[in-house]
Structure formats: C-alpha cells, structure tokens
Structure 1
Amino acid sequence: MTPDLTTLVELHDTVPVLAAGGAAIGLLFGFFAQHSRFCLRAAVIDVWRGRFGERLSVWLLAFATALLAVQALMLAGWLDVGNARQMANRGSLSGALAGGVLFGVGMVMTRGCASRLLVLSANGNLRALLSGLVFAVTVQAALGGVLAPLRTEIAGWWVVDGGSARSLLGRLGLGPAQGLAFGAVWMAAAMWFALRAGSRWWTWAGGIGTGLAVALAWWFTYAVSRASFDPVAVAGLTFSGPSAQWLMRVLTSPAPPFDFDAAMLPAVFAGSALSALARREFRIEGFHNGLTMVRYIAGAVAMGFGSVLAGGCAVGAGMTGGAIFSVTAWLALLGMWLGGGLMDRWLPEPALQASARATA
C-alpha cells in the first residue's frame, strides 16, 4: 500500500499524485452515482411521503457502505482522521443544524443536492447546470464574500472544540469496533429496504460503489499524507469547497495547484457523462417557465449558504463526515432530512407538477 505510493510521490511529486487519485475516485463516484440515481433529496422525500422504495435503498446502501468501509479502515490502522478538519478543528453545532436545514430546503427546491446537480449537468440538464453555478457563487460568497459575516455570526452561536469533543464515538466512549457494528446495522437496514423494493442489481452495485468511492477518498488522502514529505490534508469527498475553488480557478489567475479536489470535480462530471451516454440517457433539458427558474435559483442560494454553514454538502458533511462519526456532520445530516422534508410538505403541489420531468 504505502511503498507504492511513496515511490509514486518520489517520482512525480505530491500534487500530481493527489490529482490522479482525485480523478480516478471522481470517475468512479460519477459513474456509480449516475447509474444508481444516488440522491439524498429523493431518499428524504420518499421517507416523508411514506414511500420506502428504491430511492431510499440506494442512499442507505451508499451511506452504510461508506460507514462500514471507513470504520474498517480505521480499525485496521489504515486510516487516522484525527487531523481531518471535521475532527481537529473547532466546529459549530448551530451552523451544522441551521446550515443542514437550509441545505435540505434548497435541495428540494433545485431537485438535487450539490453532487446530484453535477451529475445531472453531465446528463444535459441545463436546470442543474445553472443551479450548480449559482451554488458555487453562493459558496464563495459565504466563504469570503458578502455572506461571510452572516455565516460567521450564525456559526458562533453554539460551538464545539476540536478533537474528541467532535467525535460522536469519542463522546460515547466508543471506538471503531463499535462504529463498525453500527455500520452493520445500517447495512442490514439498507439491504432490507433494497430487497423489499425489489431493487435491480445496478441499484445494489451503484449504491455500494458510490459509498466505496467516499471511503476510498479518505484512505487515499491519508495514504498520500503518510508517503509525502509535504503537508497533505487528510480529507474525503465534498462538493461545496471544490465548486467554489473551480469558480475562482476560472475567474482568477494564476490558478491554484491542480490538487485532489480540483481533479475530482471534473472527473465526477466525466464519469456521469460516460454512464449517461452508455445508457443513452443524455438529453438536453431546460426550464419549463420563469417561475420554475426563480425557484431553482433561490434553492441554489439556500443550498450554497447552507453547505458552508453546515461544513459541507450532502456528501461532504452527510456521508464523508458521517462516516467518521463527526458530531457536526451527523447534526448537519439531521438538519438536511428535516429541512428537505418540511420544504417538500410546504412547496405548492402545482410547482412540483410543473417540474416533475426534472425528477432524478
């Protein structure tokens, strides 16, 4: 494992190796996410409407796989997330909950979370493409622009120290072994829902493949950090930060180094496009009317601000942070389920019907 990466780092330097790994993992994520229709919004709506079908089973399979794989890596000593930002840095509980709720509201309005918008954009969905661009602009505004003071204010209401205080398992006096057992419970639930829904084999493969991509990102960045003499951030998959990074990469010069996140984002797009073309699902889609366009833009703004406040998107906070049992990540995920469900209940039914063809 490590000797091979050490050789690669010595031969090609750290940044190119990180970029190559980000591209490979991004391709896998994009391909499996498109094939399986992986989407937190779809799972949330299914639960709130009492339909425990295939869309829920896909998300559960992905989440349970990421949880199991990450905890297994930690138990085996192949992964240490102590220096990851979701654990080491001071966190915001108020930001996680409020941001999660806002993100959930936004993903229902745009009919897709941040990763799903990228996947749909690669399938020819212009609604998702515009929403993704607005999302990236809002993320940048929340990170260091006009929305930054508001984000800082909300985040300061209720904070938690870094280290063991941000670990849900640590707070309970548990470790990776108990985390692995908890992941097994989630996997059992995922399998039960998948069998109950009569899910096709691609649902199983796609959900599991998506979850493995999340775990692989954690392992790869950690392994490179061990093999490199340069400082390397141990991190997993996320789409909010990289979206803003790509926005600034296009608008400013010189561009920052082409690292893991920079390579991952276009690779997800490419993997999704390949899957859509292979299944003959690529088609150009636009807005049906002006009112629908306004709703998508407003949703993208809510989702962009919410993702920065929550410390990540549905994948970055919900799955990547959830898999390492970060307290703020689980709180953000709870907020996403609440916000998404409440928005689905409140959104006028005619508006849902007008954009029904946009459903993933």
Structure 2
Amino acid sequence: MVGMIMTGIICGGLLGFVMQRGRFCLTGGFRDMYLTKDNRMFYALLIAIAIQAVGVYIMIALGVFEYSAGSFPIIAVIIGAFIFGIGIILSGGCATGTWYRAGEGLIGSWIALVMYMLMAAMMRTGPLAMVTEKFYGVQFEDNSMASSFNVSPWVLIIPFVIIVLILVYNQLRKPQVKIPSLKPKKTGLMHILFEKRWNPFVTAILIGMIATLAWPLSSATGRIFGLGITSPSANILQFLVTGDMNFINWGVFLVLGVFLGALFGAKMSGEFRFRMPNVKTALNSATGGLLMGFGASLAGGCSIGNGLVMTAMMTWSGWTALVFMILGTWTATYFVFVRPQKKARAAHATAQLTQ
C-alpha cells in the first residue's frame, strides 16, 4: 500500500509539474488547430505518443508485463469522444488540464472538476451505468490495430515514429516567433524550472517519458495500464461516498499527485492565485465538467486515457477517440468563439450602415 501511494503520487506529481510549467493544454491545442491553424501542440501530443509507444512495447517484449487491448465499442467511443471534445471547450481544459489548473487556484476548474467526477461516478456505478452498458452493446471484439492487420505492433509504430519526426523537423524549420520575456529574477536551474518558457516539444518528451514510466509502476500494483484520469477521478468520489477501499488504486494517487505537482509548480513560479469566475464562466465550467464526465466515461477514456495512452498502444479506440475529440472541440469552438464573433461583426457592420 505504501509503495502504491508513493509511486502514484510521485508519477502524478511529475506529470502535474511538467504539464503546469510546460502549459501542456490539449484543449487549447485542438482549438488552435481550427482557429489559428497552429498545430504545434498537436505535434507535441504525437511526440509523447511515439515515445510511450516505443517504451511500452519494448517492456512488453521484455516480459515486464502483458497487455490486452480488449474490445472496441465503436458507437460509445465515437459519441463519447465527441461529447468530451465539446465539454473541454466549455470547461476551459481537458481532464488532466482541469486537475492541474485547479492546482493553480482557478475556482472555475474546481467547479468543472467536481462536476466531472460526479458524472463519471454516475456513469460507472450510479443511475447512468445502464446508459454505458447500452452503448457498449455494440462492439468489435478486437481493439488492437496490429492484431486486426495480423502484423507486429512495430510495423505500425516504426512508420508512425518516422512521420512524427518529419512533422517535428518541418515545424522546427519554420521561423520561430520570439516572445519578449521579462528580465529573469532567478538564475541557473531555478530559472529554467520556474521562470523560463518551456518549449512544447521538450515538454512532450518529458510527458512521453512519464507516461512510459507509469506502466511498470502501475503494473507493480496489479493495475495493468498507464496514465488514466477519468476512472481514478470517479473512484475518489465513489470512495468518499461509500468508504469502499476497493475504489482506491494506483490511479487515485496518480491524479492526486497531478494536483500536488501542479500546485508546487504554480507556487514556485508565482503563478498560483485564487481566481473567481463570473457567473457565465462558472455555468460553462459546470456544464463542461458534466459533459467531460459523460463523454470520457462513455468513450472509455479522456484526452490522456484515450488520446495519449490508447493511441500509443495502437488501438482502434484510441485513434478513433482522438479524431472525434478533435471534431468535438472544433464544433464547440465554432459555436463558442467563431459564430459569436461573426454575429458581432455583422451587427457592427449593420450599425455602421444605418448611421
């Protein structure tokens, strides 16, 4: 039990710290792909996926643990991931982003987090569990892409790594916009860790390494999986309500570690402060949290569980979920950002003509 607590909190703490300091936000990354055609954060995600895929499959080949991809509930994944994508735009952060931004003192993220945990718990053991079961009635038995094609996973991983390297190389060749920074107040390692702006690709490399490390640490406790946010978040609420110790596992300490790591990073960098949202933002956060919990539970994972981990395992569910998460964020981005701006411009133009 002590080992599970320590390794879970340490791994989660590293993840929370790196994501907070590196501003690793998939919600903003997916949104920027649509709004500003900026793909850097998406490429950063691909880097983390590639590193994890190589690392985890090497460990599987060495017999560190065994892994089965399970089945592929296609309808549940498509609908759930799309709804999750909408939810993260409304809440202002994905599941992991909500945890680490809560560690920065954002009350809106706390609201989203509570709603997210509540809905996830309801979808698992609460009154909405029947909804999950209904959607899971339609599924393919084989979720492994390599197994479906009857090839080694490396046949998929190696070309994927090459594609990622090409994308990153082409991105780095582009002229980089220099962002002016304030005069450093810290020096040496303290400046790098708590003051300097982190490169998203460097952040992604660190996240890929942490995601790889999570597998043997989690497997040592009997939980054969890597990083995961939705189930552990629901488990916390389920434990608090029932007192059932069966809900306590390595993942629970992982998400608690994410919060603590982000809190440490925010405190040390001077970025922690309590920020109260206005009424509209609070309502959006609550609605987004509910949609995140519903969508992630239905899809079997969030932007980390599906978008980072299951993609690295080369599963149909992971890559399908990633595509529909992005489509969900683009849809919400249009209605939340683009459409109101178009209406405002049209109203302004009309007002100008009538003057």
TM-score by length of 1: 0.82
1:197 Cα shift? 7.0
Structure 2: segments with no counterpart, 5+ residues: 178-196, 342-355
Separation of aligned partners in 1, 2:19 and 2:234: 21
- 1:86-125, aligned counterparts within 5 Å? 87-88=69-70, 90-125=71-106
CA deviations on 1:324-350 (whole Å, 9 max, x unpaired) are: 112112211111011111111122559
What is the CA deviation profile of residues 50-88 of structure 1, one whole-angstrom value per residue up to 9, with x for unaligned ones? 422543343333233223322333344444312xxxx13
Residues 1:21 and 2:18 aligned together: no
Number of the residue aligned with 1:169: 146
Instruction: Confirm whether residue 329 of structure 1 aligns to residue 307 of structure 2.
Output: no
Q: CA deviation at 1:23?
A: 1.6
Q: Kindly provide the amino acid, as one letter, of the partner of residue 301 in structure 2.
A: G
Q: Which moved more, 1:321-330 or 1:69-78?
A: 69-78
Structure 2 distance, partners of 1:197, 1:316, is 34
1:141 aligns with 2:141: no
Q: How does 1:1-360 map to 2 (within 5 A)?
A: 15-52=1-38, 54-82=40-68, 87-88=69-70, 90-156=71-137, 158-161=138-141, 165-188=142-165, 189-193=167-171, 196=174, 198=176, 202-222=199-219, 224=220, 232-253=222-243, 255-256=245-246, 258-288=248-278, 290-349=279-338
State the shift of 1:238 in Å. 0.8
Q: Which amino acid aligns with 1:160?
A: F
CA distance change for structure 1 residues 278 and 204 in 2, over 3 Å: closer, same or farther? Answer: farther
Contact map agreement 1:311 1:329 (CA 8 A) in 2: no
Flag the 1:115–1:194 CA change in 2: closer, same or farther, 3 A. Answer: farther
Q: What amino acid does structure 1 have at the position aligned with 2:50?
A: A
Report the count of equivalent residues: 322
- Deviating above 6 A after TM superposition, structure 1's stretches of 4 or more consecutive aligned residues are none
- Render the CA deviation track for 1:159-193: whole Å, top value 9, x for unaligned: 111xxx11012112222322331341353124543
Distance 1:130 1:257, change over 3 A: closer
- Matched position secondary structure for 2:270: coil
Paired with 1:36 and 1:142, the residues of 2 have a C-alpha distance of: 32
Distance 1:118 1:53 in 2: 24
Q: 1:238 to 1:257 in 2, by over 3 A?
A: closer
The TM-score with structure 2 as length reference comes to 0.83
Rate the CA distance shift 1:99–1:19 in 2: closer, same or farther, 3 A.
Answer: same
Contact 2:228–2:305 (8 Å) recurs in 1: yes
Q: Is the 8 A contact 1:71 1:323 kept in 2?
A: no
Judge which range, 260-269 or 70-79, deviates more.
Answer: 70-79
Contact kept in structure 1, 2:22 and 2:198, CA below 8 Å: no
Measure how far apart 1:201 and its partner are.
5.2
SS at match of 1:314: coil
Corresponding residue for 2:344? none
How far did 1:233 drift?
A: 2.9
Partner-residue secondary structure (3-state), 1:160: coil
Q: Match for residue 12 of structure 1? A: none
Q: Is the 8 A contact 2:238 2:247 kept in 1?
A: no
Contact map agreement 1:53 1:194 (CA 8 A) in 2: no
* SS of the residue 1:38 aligns to: coil
Cα distance in 2 between the residues matched to 1:118 and 1:238: 12
* Per-residue deviation, residues 281-300 of structure 1 (Å, max 9, x unmatched): 11211212x22222221111
When residues 278 and 322 of structure 1 are mapped into structure 2, their CA distance, relative to the original with a 3 A threshold, is: same
Of residues 178-187 and 135-144 in structure 1, the stretch that sits farther from structure 2 once superposed is 178-187
> Match for 1:101: what amino acid?
F
Separation in structure 2 between the aligned mates of residue 208 and residue 160 of structure 1, nearest angstrom: 33
